[in-house]
Every structure is written in structure tokens, then in C-alpha cells.
Structure 1
Amino acid sequence: MVMGDIATATDLLVIGAGPGGYVAAIRGAQLGLDTTLVEKDAYGGTCLNRGCIPSKAFIHGADVAHEAANAEELGIHADPAVDMRQMQEWKSGVVDQLTSGVEKLCKANGVALLEGTAAFEDEHTARIAHGGEGQGMETVEFDQAIIATGSRPLQIPGFDFDDDPVLSSAELLQMESVPDSLVVVGAGYIGMELSTMLAKLGTDVTVVEMLDDVLPMYEDDIKRIVRSRAEDLGVEFHFGEGATGWEEAGDGVVVSTETEDGEVSEYAGDAVLVAVGRQPVTDTLELESIGLEPNENGFIETDDRARTDVENVFAIGDVAGEPMLAHAASAEGIVAAEVAAGEPDALDQQAIPAAVFTDPEIATVGLTEAEAEAEGFEPVVGEMPLRASGRALSMNESEGFVRVVADEASGIVLGGQLVGPNASELVAEVALAVEMSATLEDVAGTVHTHPTLAEAVMEAAENAQGQAIHTLNR
């Protein structure tokens, strides 16, 4: 120990206060563990400060502006003006309310909070470097630790986020004016969400993607609807092209791309957004001090109880790999804390939903039909198109569908795929069905409020049974 250091001890040390870490810390404290939570930046992590919440706030603002400007069919005529500075202030207010709430919840549950960067010294000791000159170090001895350090935007060669025109998603969400034009590298969920949002705010968006379509993790009929809507909004796609570099041109940039055949193209914009994925943050932890080595992709491998190869060290959230979702991190955090407290718990990855906040939204949970077949099931599929939904039509949102996949022999719901308005909300019912091994009969027999979008889940279950009323049975 260095002279002047503070030394403390704790039962459970949680490193990182994102949606995995703060949830794990609170649950650990609730279970009677003396719990210390270390955060080097801001409570709530990327999700609350630079990701989920800011992006959804802006997506909502863009939706309001776009709907108001395009409601002539409903007899509404408007020409809204977007004040980006004011929207930024509103977004920041939302973020501040949530992050301060996290801090208050931790304190109210008895979690000790430390600000600084944690690094392991050995399997039971960590050193906390406090930010700021002269702030010093602190040694924390722990019985068990949970790593929840999250992820950061992935950089690609030739595109350094330190260069002003090259933006990460976090930097884009700090914008105080709407760019006239933007080149987006990547058509995954982050690229598609932000491209759609900006197009609604009036930006000319050009997307370059090295693969042959958007959203590689989703089925073709889902991707087609989302891509088509984005194109209707004016988003221009160039597939099969990898970004190779950029150069300044006037007040903006020109991005160069190249195909596998060597064909070179150039696209101009005010700036370039690089949205090709995220990478785990482990470089500050000094994992070698505890004999823990990330895998070839940089993630810390865990079992279904969030345990690493080091007996008393857990890892949760993005740093532990897919699914890199805030709600998955929270679920993993609860499991890790309960296991650390001696409780029997494990994570059911099958029941974790995923959502993409494009227009329309996408949400999935469990198995697709193809995945169910690959796992040895004989699946039966039911589908309800939203063009047959009274509520969807009354919202002027008839594109999309709800699909339910079940085991034909038992009727047990195995998964679902939804694309349409509020899909991120509707998927919760299907996720519950998967979690509790509900059957098609359970879902179809549950009376749903009319008129609602949720009725489409019931109708899809009925369709899988050959009993649908409001759509043709397969």
C-alpha cells in the first residue's frame, strides 16, 4: 500500500455503474452484502448517458416532428420547426433525472459509492484511481467482484473519433444543430436507428454497408419493411462497400469506399458517423493480475450464473458479450448478485427480448422458425398482419406483422418476431409466454382489449392453431 492511501473492505465490489452494475449493486445490498460500487464517469453508464435514453429521446422528438409534417391524409397540415438546442436541453433533463435517480437508489439501498477507475491487484484486492489531480488512490479489499465495465463504440481503420468530422454515436447525440447531410458507416441497429431519426429531422443520409443488406441479425421479411421505410424517408443505401478513408472537402467530408471487386466510390456529407458496433472495455482492469484473459474478441467469458474462470469474480453486460443489451445486463446483474449471496439463480438467455427502434420498430424473442427446426422442434407458425388490425389502421401504421413460433406437438411458445409500431412494448407478452412455457392456447385464450395492437399477438396465436378470425388461416 502506498503511504496516504485509504484502505477499505467490502463483501461485494461492483465495477461500473451502468444498467448491469448499479442493478447488481442494489440487489447485492438488498441480500445483505456489504456492497461497493465504483464508477469512473457517470452513473447509469452508456445507456443512460450516451446511448439508449438519449437516442430514444431524439427518436421520439423526430417522430413528433415527422408525424406533424406528414399528416395531410388525416386532415392535419403543419410545418414544424425543429430547435435542436432546445431538444438537447430537454434530452439532458431526462438524462439528469434518471442518472440522479440511480445515485439516490444506490444510496437508499445502502450501496457505498466510489468515483474512480478500478484495477485489480489480485483476486481479492483492487485499487481505485480517483479522477483529478491530487485525488490519490484507494485500496479496496473484497470477497467477490462483479465486472460491469460495458463497451465503447468500435473504431475502424482510417476513422479516428478524435477527428472532428468523424463521429461516434455518443458524439452525434450531443449535436446542437441538425446536419444538412451525413454519411453513415454501418447499417446495423445503431446505424439504422440514427439514420432514420436524422432523415425525419431533414438530414440527407447516405449509408454505406459492407454486407448486402441492413440489420444482418434479422429475417429478410423484417429487414425489407424497415429498409423500405427508410428509403421512403430519403435514406440512400450502398451495400457491399467498405469504408476505406475520408478527406476534408470544403465545410464537410468525402468518404471513400471500395467493393470486393475493387470498385471505388465517394460520398459527401457534413460529417461521417461510424456505427459498426461496440467493443468491450477491459483495458483499465489489469485482468492479468487475477489470471483472467478475455477471449479472442475481447469479451470475458461467463457461465449461466455470470461466473468467470476466477471463482470469486463475475462479469455482466456488454463486457461479457452478446446479447449486448441494457436489459440483459440488468438481468445478468441480478443473477450475479444473487449467486454471490449464495442464492440459487441462473439466467435464461432464451427469454431475453431484443428491440430496434427504427420506423417501424422491430422486436424479437426466443427462436425463429428456422432456429426452432435447427434445435429439433417441429415448429408451427402463426402470423397477424397489421393491415388487418383496426388499431394499426386507426394509427395510420399498417405496415408490419406479429409472428409467433411454437412447438407443434406441445403448443408451447418458442419465440416471436414483431415489426410495427410499439413492437418494443408488444414483445413483452411473447417474452412472458416463452419464460413461463405458455402454450398457444394460453395466449389465444387470453382476452385482449379492443382496439389495441396487442390483439395482434392473440390473433397470431390463433392463426398458429388454425383458428384466426381476423386473418386467413395458413
Structure 2
Amino acid sequence: MAEYDVIVIGAGPGGYVCAIRCAQLGLKTACVEGRETLGGTCLNVGCIPSKAMLHASELYHEATDNFAKMGLMGKAPSVDLPKMLEYKQSTVKSNTDGIEFLFKKNKIDWIKGYGKITAPGEVLVGNETHKAKNIVIATGSEAASLPGVEVDEKVVVTSTGALELKKVPGKMVVIGGGVIGLELGSVYSRLGSEVTVIEFMDHIIPGSDAEISKQFLKMLKKQGLNFELNCAVQGTEVKNNKAKVTYKSRKDDSEHVIDADIVLLATGRRPYTDALGLEDLGIEMERGMVKTNGHWKTNVDGIYAIGDVIAGPMLAHKAEDEGMAVAETIAGQRGHVNYGVIPSVIYTHPEVANVGATEEQLKEEGRKYKVGKFPFMGNARAKSHFAGEGFVKLLADAETDRILGAHVIGPMAGDLIHEVCVAMEFGAAAEDLARTCHAHPTFSEAMREAALACGDGAIHA
């Protein structure tokens, strides 16, 4: 007889949320996790610690650049990086301790160690086999490698090492102009590093709305970040705790070398499925990911997969949604995830957020659409915060007015995007958003103005 109804392998955002939801639905649940703390990459060495560092560096920027403009006079603060790391770690501990408390509250067994599925319904952890009616793979992802770039987490680092640097580097080279590279590059640029981003594509944040990408690049350059676009990194060489990065221009094939104190490899992530025993079980894989059907089931009965190990954006909140949905499915309910309404946020300054379709996608589909745009320079609250750069862009169906997507670059973008998420979830039209009263003065008024711009026109532009 099975010991558990469900064993979840991995305690990141997808795994721990899945385990809690399973327990809430009356299923006897265990979660296998080999880290010393719960929360996975996100809470321990990813989303949460990076946001703490972003917050601290943003406040430092405010103090050094904007306080005097507001009449707040006095000596500017200096950077004590070890102290900042203590603050970051206290934030991590508070969150991971909170997950451990929730496991105890919901009577979830934490099986400490790394799991291997030896047969349907059986998970080996150490020398002990645990049995369950259902197994959920939620092992997340790890930093992707790049030929010629050897990570030592001292000079050539991933995001994990970048969050543990003992001092602010004089020169930092970031390989990859995506979310992770730009967030951590922004942190160290604000703290005093000379940051150069090398990106393979001819634009940053690949896959985003082109207009947003162009505006974001201008803003980051204005902040002092340097960019080498359309360039392919050939390799790194480390000597005497310094690095040389060799890269080629994809335009003219010319070769270049740049020196760095720290190199951050941020070329994306890959599903982490090593040592799970999936090949022996005959679980189907697709492009390195676990293949699942519309109900997160693998081809082996009783085994499910969620989060970064399956297709879709590698986002913590996407994994959380899947964790809840698969728990409900196992419990006999109808778990559901609306993949058309999954927001994405870059927590730089300004923030960048989007949900739904881009203009480029709509053009490719041949769909008729209209655009409503509003600049934050027309938003009174934004101007009072020295945050007038950027804009809101709303896309709506040309015939039905139904909202198809939204793209925001500006203050609080990561929070503002969610009113569009709710609107899209309920199939709202741009006019519905335009006719909804928004408090004044708030950043959110920019959203309403963009919706108005889809109709007769914005008021303040």
C-alpha cells in the first residue's frame, strides 16, 4: 500500500505550492528536497535574493542621484557590500523559514535528500524507497552552459555566484541580454561597476515587444551600461583572478577581446532532470524537457511534471499555477492554467512588464488590431517620482476591442500589469478598462489612459 497519495520532487515555487495545495485538498503529501532550505532556486539563489539586491541598489541610486533634488540634503551613503549581502540573506531566510512553517502547518512530510524515480509509484531518496500513488516532478532548472566559458563561481559566475560577490567589481562583463543579465548587471552598475553586456541577438530581451526593447536599451545606456549586440562569445580565459572575454561581431566577423574582473554567464536556463531516472522509466522527453499532455501527465501513468522541466516560460508564477492545477487534477478536480495570461516582469529600474501578444506576433498572425499608448511623462505621479520615462502600450482587437496584450516600461510596471491580466482573464475590452475609475494620482492612471487611447484618445497626452 502506498505511503502517500502524492510525492512532489523539488521544493521550488512549483513544487512547494503543489505540495501545499495537495495537502489542502486532503491528500497525504510528501516533498523531496535536497537543499538545506525549502524554496528552490527562486527563494534561495534566484528571484528573492536578486530582488533584495535590486531594491538596495535602487535606494542607493535614489540617495546619490535624487535626494538633493527633493531637498533631502546630507552626506551620500557609501556601499558596504558584505552588509548588503547580510540583508539579502536575511530576506532569503525569512522566506525559506516561512515555507518550512507552511509545510508543518499543512502536515507535509519533508523528505530530505535527492529523489530518483525507480518505478511508477516509487521514489528512492538515499537508501530508502518511498511509495506514492502519484509523483510530481518539479525539479526546476539550472544555468545553461556556453562552449568555451568555464564557470568557477569566483571570476566566471552564474546568477548564483553574482549574488555572493565579496566586493563590487571594477569591470563586469555580462554574457546575455535577457532578464537575469540585465537585472544583475543593473545592480552592479548602480553600485559602481563598469558593466558591458554582450548579446548574441541584435536586440535585448529577445521575444519581447520590439518597441519596448528599443526604448529599454536607450534607458539602460543612459544609466551607464554598455552593450555589444549581435556578437557571439567565443570563450573566456581566467588568469590571476581576472578574465578576458573573446567575442566576434556577427556583422563583419571581426574578433574582439574585453577585460573583466567578473564575468556573469546569463544565457538562460535548462531543465534540471539529471539523476531522476527518467530515461530508465521510458518517460518521453522533448528538446530536453519532460513531455506532458494537457493535464501535466507524462506518458507513464501516475507521473506528472510541472514548471521549468516542461514546455513554456521558465517563470516561478507559471510553475505555481501548474502546481495548483496538477494538485487539483490529482484530487479529481479540473485543474486549469490560462497560458495566454501569464505576465512577465523585469525588475530593473524602470521595470518592464508584459502579458499576452506582442505587435510582432499579431502581425505574423495577420490579426487586425489597434494600439493605445500613453507616456508616463503625462502621469502626474510618475513625474513627481522622477519616473516620467517609459510608456504603457495596450493592444486590442480592431473589431471586438477585446484586449490582446499589454506592454509596460516604467514605474511599478510589474504591479500595474496585473489589472490587464485580470481584464484579459475575463475577456474584457479596452473600453471596459477605460471606463473603470482609477484613483488620482496613481501610476495606474497610465493604464487607463492607454485604454482610452484605443478609443477616442487619451486625456493627458
Superposed pair shares fold, TM > 0.5 = yes
CA offset at residue 375 of structure 1?
4.2
Counterparts in 2 of 1:376 and 1:107: CA distance versus 1, 3 Å: farther
Moved more, 217-226 or 447-456: 217-226
CA offset at residue 359 of structure 1?
2.2
Q: Distance in 1 between matches of 2:5 and 2:224?
A: 55
What are the residue-to-residue correspondences of 1:44-193 with 2, within 5 Å? 44-71=39-66, 72-77=68-73, 78-129=75-126, 137-162=127-152, 164-193=154-183
SS across alignment from 2:234? strand
Alpha carbons 2:172, 2:196 under 8 Å: kept: yes
Alpha carbons 1:229, 1:359 under 8 Å: kept: no
SS across alignment from 1:351? coil
Q: Show the counterpart of 1:352.
A: 342
Q: Distance in 1 between matches of 2:53 and 2:245?
A: 26
Alpha carbons 2:150, 2:236 under 8 Å: kept: no
Q: Distance in 1 between matches of 2:122 and 2:77?
A: 57
CA offset at residue 467 of structure 1?
4.0
Letter in 1 for 2:333: E
Q: Show the counterpart of 1:283.
A: 274
What are the residue-to-residue correspondences of 1:222-241 with 2, within 5 Å? 222-241=212-231
CA offset at residue 305 of structure 1?
2.3
Quote the sequence identity (%): 39
Is 1:294 matched with 2:294? no
Q: Show the counterpart of 2:428.
A: 438
CA offset at residue 106 of structure 1?
1.4
CA offset at residue 429 of structure 1?
0.4
Q: Distance in 2 between matches of 1:405 and 1:417?
A: 8
CA offset at residue 76 of structure 1?
4.1
Structure 1-normalised TM-score?
0.93
Q: Structure 2 residue aligned with 1:27, among 17, 21, 25?
A: 21
Q: Distance in 2 between matches of 1:266 and 1:127?
A: 48
Consecutive unaligned residues of structure 2, counting only runs of 5 or more, are none
Q: Distance in 2 between matches of 1:432 and 1:404?
A: 14
Q: Distance in 2 between matches of 1:232 and 1:378?
A: 35
Q: Distance in 1 between matches of 2:390 and 2:301?
A: 47
Q: Structure 2 residue aligned with 1:38, among 32, 43, 48?
A: 32
Alpha carbons 1:120, 1:289 under 8 Å: kept: no
CA offset at residue 464 of structure 1?
0.4
Is 1:329 matched with 2:319? yes
Alpha carbons 1:123, 1:289 under 8 Å: kept: no
Alpha carbons 1:11, 1:35 under 8 Å: kept: yes
Q: Distance in 1 between matches of 2:428 and 2:253?
A: 52
CA offset at residue 209 of structure 1?
1.6
Moved more, 17-26 or 246-255: 246-255
Counterparts in 2 of 1:274 and 1:448: CA distance versus 1, 3 Å: same
Describe the superposition over 1:365-396 as per-residue Cα deviations: whole angstroms up to 9, x where unpaired. 11123323444642122111111111111111
Q: Show the counterpart of 1:199.
A: 189
CA offset at residue 228 of structure 1?
1.7
Q: Show the counterpart of 1:15.
A: 9
Number of residues of Structure 1 aligned to a counterpart in Structure 2: 457
Alpha carbons 1:61, 1:87 under 8 Å: kept: yes
Structure 2-normalised TM-score?
0.95
Q: Distance in 2 between matches of 1:348 and 1:147?
A: 20
Q: Distance in 1 between matches of 2:31 and 2:153?
A: 33
SS across alignment from 2:87? helix
SS across alignment from 1:349? coil
Q: Structure 1 residue aligned with 2:442, among 442, 452, 457?
A: 452
Q: Structure 1 residue aligned with 2:204, among 205, 214, 232?
A: 214
Q: Distance in 2 between matches of 1:404 and 1:39?
A: 41
Q: Distance in 2 between matches of 1:436 and 1:376?
A: 24
Describe the superposition over 1:112-162 as per-residue Cα deviations: whole angstroms up to 9, x where unpaired. 110111111111211112xxxxxxx11111111110000011111122223
